[in-house]
Structure 1
Amino acid sequence: MIKSIVQFMRRDVTRGVAGTILLKVGSGALAFALFSLAARTMSPDGFGIFATWLSVAQMASVVGLVGQESLLVRFLNEYRVANQPDLTKGVLLSSLRISSAAMLIAIGAIAIVASLRGDWWLLILAVSAYTAVNAGLMLGSQIARSLVSILMGEGNREFFWRVSVVLFLIAVLTGHRQLDPAELIVVMTIAMSIGLGAQVVAITRALPDFRATAARSETSRWRSSALHFWVASILEAANQYFDVILVYWMLDPATAGIYFAASRLANIFAMLSAALYSFGARRLPSLYFSKNHQEFERTLQLMAEVTALCVISGLLLIWIGGPYLLNLFGPHFAAQHWVLIVLAIGTAFQAAGGPSAAILQLTGYEREYVPVVAANVALRLVGFLVLIPWFGVLGAAISATVSLALATIALNILCRRRTGVDPSILGLLRFSASKRGNYAVRGMDSAE
């Protein structure tokens, strides 16, 4: 058994997945520290307002990128495998132009809505700046992940900047000072800007010399794919952030803050899904477009093995340690342990489904992915409207979990039908059965 574990850990794919998951775990731990410290340095209503505007900014960043971040992952890998630098240059320039123009529109919309609400001008500026920098990091991380490394892409997007913000919050807490939501958003924006600068430098160095290369376009392909990627990205962002906005609207700021805290903790499994997506987005497209089916399936199998281990250990952590983790946000958060458990079941189910969404999007089936995510958002919205008046914040958690589970099942069925592969942990059972069958055949052959 020990020999098998050692052999498993020595595999290059295992190390890659494990390294990506460790990066996500570290990012998640820092995010948890950031939000728990923020909750303790703000009033309950202040933290709820911070969480709500942060969710608005995250959604606006996705809207403003108009699907260009996913489009780059799709086509940069294809053009690199095919050795087409003219199209590589073309898609990079096109994405930068389109996303820059669209982000200005998204930021303007935020400023107008916030002004009509009568919000403080500093909060409006802070949220607008955060939206722009966050969108830059989202786009830059996709390019850096494809051209440089996962560490440069995901590390600067989610890990390094949070260290300085956590240290700032510790200093504020030690000084017994209460923060305003706008102040924290400003600090986060400054820290993220440094990470964005590092990404720009690394990408510039990694890019080949395009000065003698004439840019070539495949506008119709890019436009069609970008539209589907954009819709999918908006729906995914709605799944992750719109919940908080709805709870804020239907209940109150303090309850929105509680739901935000519980959902961030439950995101230990969504973090696993994001890690698998980050690893899969870097490795799977090149294997798919180079038609290396054996390595493609081997990579999926090893990803499923790591996922199964993480899901089991994560559920145990949430069940046993949930109240203690919630208490770090404040005493009134600890009473919502069942909200955390219900949300964790949903995100664990999604993680167990594997990177089916990534496979569908990165292998040319993004059109069929969108309706499933749209149905997920619609079902969740209906569930919120029906269940929140009856069960309060627990109703929101039930709605989120049910819709997420149904969407995961639908995506896995779609992935198996379209690509012929099962990325979920259930694929391990079929692999194990196939392996036992092969051993049985070998035993019969040797007996004969």
Structure 2
Amino acid sequence: MIETILQFLRRDVTRGVVGTILLKVGSGTLAFALFSLAARTMSPDGFGIFATWLSVSQIAAVVGLVGQESLLVRFLNEYRVKDRPDLTKGVLLSSLGVSAVAMLVAIGAIAIVASMRGDGWLLIVAVSAYTAVSAGLMLGSQVARSLVSILMGEGNREFFWRVAVVLFLLAVLFGHRQLDPAELIAVITIAMSIGLVTQIAAVAQALPDFRGTVARSETSRWRSSALHFWIASILEAANQSFDVILVHWMLDPATAGIYFAASRLANIFAMLSAALYSFGARRLPSLYFSKNHREFEQTLKLMAEVTAFCVVSGLLLIWVGGPHLLNLFGPHFAAQHWVLIVLAIGTAVQAAGGPSAAILQLTGHERIYVPVVAANVALRLVGFLVLIPWLGVLGAAISATASLALATIALNILCRRRTGVDPSILALLRFSAWKRRAYAVRAAEPGE
């Protein structure tokens, strides 16, 4: 058994998956530390305002990118396999130009809305700058992940800058000083800017010499794919961030902060999904477009094995240690253990479903992905409107979990039908059943 485990760990694919998950775990741990420290260095209303504007900025960044971050993942891998530097240069220039113009519009919209609400100029500037830098990291991480490494892409997007912010918050906490939301957003923006500059420098070195290459375009393909990627990205961002905005609007800032904290803890499973997506987005498209079906399926099987282990462990952690984790945000957070459990069930189901969304999008089936995510958002919104007046913040958690579970089931069915691949942990059960049948057949043969 030990030898089997060692052989399992020696495989390049295993190390890639585990390394990516460890990076995400580290990022998630730092995010947890950041938000828990922020909650303790702010008033309850201040933390709720911070969480709400953070959610608004994340949605605005996705809107401003116009789907270009997913477009680059899709076509950089395809053009690399086909050895088309002319098209690679074309899609890079096109994506950078389109996203730059669209981001200016998105930032302008944020500034107008914030000024109409009567927010201070420091908060408006901080939120606008955070939105721009966050979008830059989203786009840059996709390019860096494809051309440099997962560490350069995801490390600068989610890990390294959080170390600096956590150290800053610890200093504030020990100094017994209370932060304003605008101050913390400004500090986060400065730290993220350093990561963005590092990312840009690494990508510039990794790019081939395009000086003698004439850029070519596949404008119609890019526009069609970008539209579907954009809609899907907006809907995904709404799934992740719009909840906090609605809770703030329907209840109050303090409750929005509580929901934000619980949802970020429950995102231990969404973190797993993101890690698998990051690994899959780097490896699966090249295997798919080069028609290496055997390695494609083996990679998915390994990802399912890792997912099954992490889902079981994570649910146990949330069930036993949830109150203690919530208490790190403050005493009034610990009373919402059931909100955390309900949210964790939803994200656990999503993680158990595997990277079906990524497979559909990265293999050219992005059009059928959009209606499922749209239905998920609509169902969640209806659930909020019905359940929040009745059950409060627990109603929001129930609505989020139910819609997420239904969307995960639908995406898995579509993935199996369109690609012939089951990326969920249920594939392991079918694989085990197949091995038992094969063993039974061999045992029944003469001489066995």
TM-score, length basis structure 1: 0.99
Distance of 2:35 and 2:367 partners within structure 1: 36
Indicate yes or no: 2:376 matched with 1:376: yes
- Cα shift at 1:49: 0.1
State how far apart, in whole Å, the 1-side matches of 2:213 and 2:111 are: 40
Aligned-residue offset at 1:285: 0.1
1:270 corresponding residue in structure 2: 270
CA distance in 1, matches of 2:4, 2:356: 27
Q: What are the superposed Cα offsets for residues 141-179 of structure 1, whole Å, 9 maximum, x if unpaired? A: 000000000000000000000000000000000000000
1:446 to partner: Cα distance: 5.5
Contact kept, 8 Å, 1:20 with 1:278, in 2: the verdict is yes
How far did 1:435 drift?
1.6
SS in 1 for 2:422: coil
Q: Which residue of the partner structure matches residue 136 of structure 2?
A: 136
CA distance in 2, matches of 1:188, 1:126: 9
Deviation at 1:8, TM superposition (A): 1.9
CA distance in 1, matches of 2:79, 2:356: 23
- Aligned runs of 1:2-151 on 2, under 5 Å? 2-151=2-151
CA distance in 2, matches of 1:286, 1:446: 44
* Structure 2 Cα separation of the partners of residues 435 and 89 of structure 1: 47
- SS in structure 2 opposite 1:447? coil
Which whole-Å CA distance do the structure 2 matches of 1:190 and 1:10 have between them? 39
Q: 2:414 maps to which residue?
A: 414
Give the letter aligned to residue 220 of structure 1.
S
Which residue number in structure 2 is paired with residue 354 of structure 1?
A: 354
C-alpha distance in structure 2 between counterparts of 1:5 and 1:385, whole Å: 49
The percent identity for this pair of structures is: 87
SS in 2 for 1:179: coil
Matches for 1:221-236 after TM superposition, within 5 Å = 221-236=221-236
After the TM superposition, which residues 36-435 of structure 1 pair with which residues of structure 2 at under 5 Å, given as runs? 36-435=36-435
Aligned alpha-carbon RMSD (Å): 0.7
Equivalences, count: 448
Residue type matched to 2:15 in 1?
R
Q: Distance in 2 between matches of 1:249 and 1:430?
A: 46
Aligned counterparts of 2:7 and 2:393: Cα–Cα separation in 1: 46
1:102 Cα offset (Å) = 0.1
Tell whether the 8 Å contact from 1:48 to 1:248 is kept in structure 2 after alignment.
yes
Distance apart, 1:5 and its partner CA: 2.1
Q: How many Å separate the matches in 2 of 1:425 and 1:105? A: 42
What SS does structure 1 have at the residue aligned with 2:213? coil
Instruction: Report the alpha carbon displacement of residue 11 of structure 1 after superposing the two structures with TM.
Output: 2.0
Q: Deviations over 1:47-105 (max 9, x none)?
A: 00000000000000000000000000000000000000000000000000000000000
Per the TM alignment, residue 444 of structure 1 is displaced from its structure 2 partner at its CA by: 3.3
**CA offsets, 1:212-260, max 9 Å, x none?**
0000000000000000000000000000000000000000000000000
Task: Give the ranges of 4+ consecutive aligned residues of structure 1 lying more than 6 Å apart after TM superposition.
Answer: none
In structure 2, how many angstroms separate the alpha carbons of the residues matched to 1:193 and 1:328?
A: 28
Relative distance call for 1:125 and 1:437 in structure 2 (3 A) is: same
User: CA contact under 8 A between 1:14 and 1:306: conserved in structure 2?
Assistant: no
What displacement does 1:445 show? 3.7
**Counterpart residue identity of residue 165, structure 2:** V
Per-residue deviation, 1:440: 2.4
Q: Give the Å deviation of 1:13.
A: 1.3
d(CA) in 1 for partners of 2:272, 2:447: 45
C-alpha distance in 1 between matches for 2:292 and 2:430: 21
Partner SS state of residue 177, structure 1? coil
CA contact (8 A) 1:66 1:227 kept: yes
Deviation for aligned residue 1:190: 0.3
Question: What runs of 5+ residues in structure 1 fail to find an aligned partner?
Answer: none
